[in-house]
Amino acid sequence: MATIRRVVLIVLGAVLVAAGVLIIGMRTKSKAVLVPFTRLQRDRLNAPALKTAGEAGDRNGVIYHRGRTSGRELQTPVTPIATDDGFIIGLPYGHETQWLKNVLAAGEAAVRYQGEMVRVTNPRIVGASELEYQFATAERVLQAVFGVSEYLVLTRV
């Protein structure tokens, strides 16, 4: 019994350390943390998320964009916040992600959110302080914890 307890405590400790490293890495935008994590997310975690993202009732959505060099149609799960004229998407990894570079380069994309496909244009990065009035308290707390200081603003076509 003591051995099982010890293993559980070790695993729990490892999970807490990993979570701490991830949060600090995100807050500081450390490439040593963000590059491996974004690759893991792209290669392993996005596919399961895409199965339900964008459907009615799911808080996650999907942004459809075209690769800058490959020209391929790509999709990335995101957590958009609907506004009167489009969407706001938090950038917890900063502005160096490939999907964001693709959207900015193309000047347009499509977002599937709550079962609806929406064409969007005029992508621009805006500081969180300019958008504070749009966020609920929970969103502001998450911004602080994960160091989200920038958002992608998209206008509905």
Question: What is the tens place of the pLDDT at every residue in 107-138?
Answer: 999 999 999 999 999 999 999 889 888 888 88
Indicate the pTM of the whole model: 0.86
Domain parsing of the chain, residue ranges: 2-156
Question: What is the tens place of the pLDDT at every residue in 54-104?
Answer: 999 999 999 999 999 999 999 999 999 999 999 999 999 888 899 999 999
String of DSSP letters for 61-83? EEEEEE-TTT--EEEEEE-EEE-
What distance in Å separates the CA atoms of residue 110 and residue 31, rounded to the nearest whole number? 28
Check whether domain 2-156 has CATH 3.20.20.70, yes or no: no
